[in-house]
């Protein structure tokens, strides 16, 4: 990927050079043609539309938009679920999450991910709305945005530029309106495209933005900033040509020439024309006994064309690493492990997207934290982590078994993160704790089990101690004396 550099020793955010900014804008305009081609293919305007043939020959122009299918699939898998945030430090990040929700960053993330897939890179502009003390994020077009870095080995960001071109109809000249955001200031520069090296003074006053860094964030799809389908465009063109030619062959077969052997339709042109008209209407042709008629047509190799079509389509998806989910290999009864193997290529390019996107998210978090610090809301941006999740159907039974098997070895918070329907593990843990406490209380009320409490009045009586002999043992009445006493009572009773 080619970078836009500004001489480090010449850069002064309080004294910009319009000539250098204009040079960088011109350089970016020279790279826009590639981006525009990617956008045309995503929108369905392919090279086949430019094909020309003779007037009488059929000229079908079939567009099979694999480019859109690849980008939509890759984007949905990567950013179909919103990014979640957690904090490894002790500070509360709820103000930051609230600011993200108010700025609708989930929608911005989805737009950024789609731009990354189409163009190979995406840009986001973080700013404060006029009259509001709240940060806002907006996706801006890569066709008119770029980041400027210094010419050192670190490639430190100096500023971000967002521009558009307007025409002065009176003087027939063009002016670039460039929004330049440095670490502390934002300029809106009017740069005349004079075509000469005449220096232009910066008369526009900058506005301080308090974000602490350039407000424009760059997200790369990969290190080279290549779109997901960009390298498969020749294969897409070949597929479109093959399908268009097959339809042309069908049309030519329908319009085949009828050849008569041993007979004619008429003696002159008028009779022949009338006979042709009746033949089209009645679909009936009478011929002499030895005559015959047949169509003169080219034989089509449908089997060979179908094999070629499948081969090209398979190469399109194989080389892009984005699977065709309409393929018969993606059945509904495929196990989770088998599905992961089928999605291995897509997972690899998504990991690259995720790694590049995290760089931009870290800058977004810093910009928001710097802005919120003006409201005395202090947060440590470096301790806030972003988590991505894949947008795929989940086998909840399989996940439940995994959670049950690991409950004694892994924390409850980590296990809850595995479940796709749990957005806030901490909240779920608190709710489960409350629920268990309520169940215990309900059971106690149901079975009349109250808490053990001491009596309100008096003291408990101590049990009487048994008489003990000098050796410490309780005295027991001898068994023999007890038996004699019992016999005497029985004898007295019999006499009476």
Residue-wise pLDDT for 328-344, tens only, equals 666 555 666 677 778 88
Higher pLDDT: 288 or 218? It is 218
User: For residue 26, is pLDDT > 90?
Assistant: yes
pLDDT at 75 (0 to 100): 96
Residue 316, number of CB atoms within 10 A of its CB: 24
220 and 155 co-located in one domain = yes
54 and 164 co-located in one domain = yes
Q: Classify residue 402 as exposed, middle or buried by CB count within 10 Å of its CB (0-12, 13-18, 19+).
A: middle
Q: What is the mean pLDDT of residues 350-365?
A: 96
pLDDT at 406 (0 to 100): 84
The reply to whether 355 falls in a domain is no
pLDDT at 455 (0 to 100): 60
Residue 15 to residue 114: CA distance in whole angstroms: 36
The reply to whether 484 falls in a domain is no
pLDDT at 348 (0 to 100): 94
User: For residue 465, is pLDDT > 90?
Assistant: no
Tokens of 210: 């308090």
299 and 423 co-located in one domain = no
Q: What is the mean pLDDT of residues 157-161?
A: 95
18 and 162 co-located in one domain = yes
The reply to whether 305 falls in a domain is yes
pLDDT at 24 (0 to 100): 93
256 and 204 co-located in one domain = no
Higher pLDDT: 321 or 448? It is 321
Among candidate residues 160, 219, 224, 225, the one with its CA nearest the CA of residue 364: 219
pLDDT at 219 (0 to 100): 97
Strands 207-208 and 185-192: what pairing? antiparallel
The reply to whether 453 falls in a domain is no
Q: What percent of the chain has pLDDT over 90?
A: 44
96 and 204 co-located in one domain = yes
Reported confidence tier of residue 480, pLDDT bands at 50, 70, 90:
low
The boundaries of the domain holding residue 417 are 403-448
The reply to whether 343 falls in a domain is no
212 and 235 co-located in one domain = no
pLDDT at 478 (0 to 100): 55
182's CB contacts (< 8 A; 6+ apart) are 13, 158, 159, 206, 214
Reported confidence tier of residue 496, pLDDT bands at 50, 70, 90:
very low
User: For residue 251, is pLDDT > 80?
Assistant: no
15's CB contacts (< 8 A; 6+ apart) are 202
The reply to whether 72 falls in a domain is yes
Tokens of 175: 């002016």
Cβ–Cβ < 8 Å for 174, 167: yes
Reported confidence tier of residue 196, pLDDT bands at 50, 70, 90:
low
Cβ–Cβ < 8 Å for 356, 219: yes
The whole-angstrom distance between residue 256's C-alpha and the CA centroid of its chain comes to 51
Q: Which one of 302, 317, 332 terminates a domain? A: 332
Q: What percent of the chain has pLDDT over 70?
A: 84
User: For residue 78, is pLDDT > 50?
Assistant: yes
31 and 161 co-located in one domain = yes
User: For residue 125, is pLDDT > 80?
Assistant: yes
The reply to whether 368 falls in a domain is no
User: For residue 452, is pLDDT > 70?
Assistant: no
pLDDT digits (tens, 9 = 90+) for 390-423: 877 666 777 788 888 888 888 887 888 777 777 7
Q: Which one of 270, 297, 332 terminates a domain? A: 332
Q: Which one of 332, 350, 381 terminates a domain? A: 332
142 and 278 co-located in one domain = no
pLDDT at 402 (0 to 100): 83
319 and 214 co-located in one domain = no
Q: Classify residue 219 as exposed, middle or buried by CB count within 10 Å of its CB (0-12, 13-18, 19+).
A: buried
39 and 85 co-located in one domain = yes
Q: How many CA atoms lie within 13 A of 356 on its CB side?
A: 24
Residue 141 to residue 470: CA distance in whole angstroms: 104
Cβ–Cβ < 8 Å for 144, 115: no
Three-class DSSP labels, 379-392? CCHHHEEEECCCCC
The reply to whether 272 falls in a domain is yes
Task: Count the domains in the chain.
Answer: 3
User: For residue 471, is pLDDT > 80?
Assistant: no
98 and 198 co-located in one domain = yes
User: For residue 15, is pLDDT > 50?
Assistant: yes
């Amino acid at each position: 990927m080619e970078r836009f550099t500004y001489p480090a020793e010449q850069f002064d955010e309080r004294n910009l050079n319009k000539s250098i900014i204009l040079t960088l804008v011109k350089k970016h305009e020279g790279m826009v043609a590639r981006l525009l081609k990617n956008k045309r293919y995503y929108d369905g305007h392919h090279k086949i539309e430019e094909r020309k043939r003779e007037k009488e020959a059929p000229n079908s122009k079939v567009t099979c938009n694999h480019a859109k299918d690849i980008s939509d699939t890759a984007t949905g898998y990567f950013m179909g679920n919103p990014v979640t945030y957690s904090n490894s430090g002790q500070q509360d990040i709820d103000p930051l999450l609230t600011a993200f929700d108010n700025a609708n960053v989930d929608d911005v993330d989805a737009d950024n991910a789609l731009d990354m897939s189409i163009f190979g890179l995406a840009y986001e502009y973080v700013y404060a709305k006029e009259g509001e003390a709240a940060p806002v994020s907006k996706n801006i077009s890569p066709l008119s945005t770029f980041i400027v870095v210094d010419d050192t080995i670190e490639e430190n960001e100096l500023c971000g530029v967002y521009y558009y071109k307007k025409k002065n109809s009176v003087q027939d000249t063009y002016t670039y309106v460039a929004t330049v955001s440095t670490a502390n200031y934002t300029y809106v520069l009017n740069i005349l495209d004079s075509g000469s090296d005449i220096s232009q003074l910066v008369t526009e006053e900058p506005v301080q933005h308090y974000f602490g860094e350039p407000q424009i964030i760059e997200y790369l799809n990969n290190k080279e900033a290549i779109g997901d389908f960009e390298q498969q465009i020749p294969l897409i063109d070949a597929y479109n040509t093959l399908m268009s030619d097959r339809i042309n062959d069908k049309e030519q077969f329908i319009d085949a020439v009828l050849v008569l052997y041993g007979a004619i339709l008429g003696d002159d042109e008028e009779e022949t024309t009338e006979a042709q008209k009746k033949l089209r209407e009645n679909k009936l042709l009478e011929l002499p006994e030895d005559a015959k008629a047949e169509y003169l047509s080219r034989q089509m190799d449908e089997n060979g064309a179908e094999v070629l079509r499948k081969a090209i389509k398979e190469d399109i998806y194989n080389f892009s690493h984005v699977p065709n989910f309409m393929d018969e290999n993606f059945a509904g009864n495929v196990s989770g492990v088998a599905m992961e193997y089928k999605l291995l290529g897509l997972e690899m390019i998504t990991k690259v997207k995720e790694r590049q996107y995290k760089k931009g998210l870290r800058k977004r978090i810093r910009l928001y934290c710097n802005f919120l610090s003006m409201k005395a809301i202090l947060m440590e941006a470096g301790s806030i982590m972003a988590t991505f999740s894949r947008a795929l159907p989940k086998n909840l039974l399989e996940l439940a078994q995994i959670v049950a098997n690991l409950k004694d070895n892994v924390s409850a918070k980590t296990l809850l993160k595995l479940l796709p329907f749990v957005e806030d593990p901490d909240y779920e843990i608190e709710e489960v704790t409350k629920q268990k406490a309520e169940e215990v209380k309900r059971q106690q009320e149901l079975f009349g089990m109250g808490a053990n409490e001491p009596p309100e009045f008096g003291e408990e009586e101590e049990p009487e101690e048994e008489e003990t002999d000098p050796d410490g043992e309780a005295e027991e009445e001898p068994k023999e004396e007890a038996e004699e006493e019992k016999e005497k009572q029985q004898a007295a009773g019999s006499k009476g």
